[in-house]
Amino acid sequence: MANIKSAKKRVQVAERNRLRNKSYKSAVKTLMKKYFAAVDQLAANPSDSEAKKAVDEAMSAAYSKIDKAVKRGVLHRNTGARRKARLSRVLKQKTAVAS
């Protein structure tokens, strides 16, 4: 454990940042899973307009959270771009198979 006052403060700041980063990363993963589930529903029934709407909403939420995580430095911008590309790639693959 740190003995110097500034080092103790740095430990506190690092812990606070770690928890904030963890919550952003967790939220990104959760929103991505919800999006993948919505895409699977759309692939199972491509003519369902409600499923298409759910996919659009899930994609918007996931993109937004990824962009915020990148803006706050939780994710590197290339990682954010890769995750967003993965989302759009999955939709393209699943809808191409369905059509």
11 within a domain of the structure (yes/no)? no
Residue 98 pLDDT greater than 80, yes or no: no
- Check if the beta carbon of residue 25 is closer than 8 Å to that of residue 74: yes
9 within a domain of the structure (yes/no)? no
Can you tell me whether residue 74 is helix, strand or coil? coil
In this predicted model, what pLDDT tens digit does every residue of 70-85 receive, in sequence order? 999 999 999 999 999 9
19 within a domain of the structure (yes/no)? no
Task: Share the mean pLDDT of the chain.
Answer: 94
8 within a domain of the structure (yes/no)? no
Residue 48 pLDDT greater than 90, yes or no: no
Q: Is the dihedral of CA 74, 78, 81, 83 positive or negative?
A: negative
5 within a domain of the structure (yes/no)? no
This prediction's pTM: 0.87
Q: Is the dihedral of CA 63, 65, 33, 37 positive or negative?
A: negative
The domain tally of the chain equals 1
17 within a domain of the structure (yes/no)? no
Within 10 Å of residue 46's Cβ, how many Cβ atoms?
Answer: 13
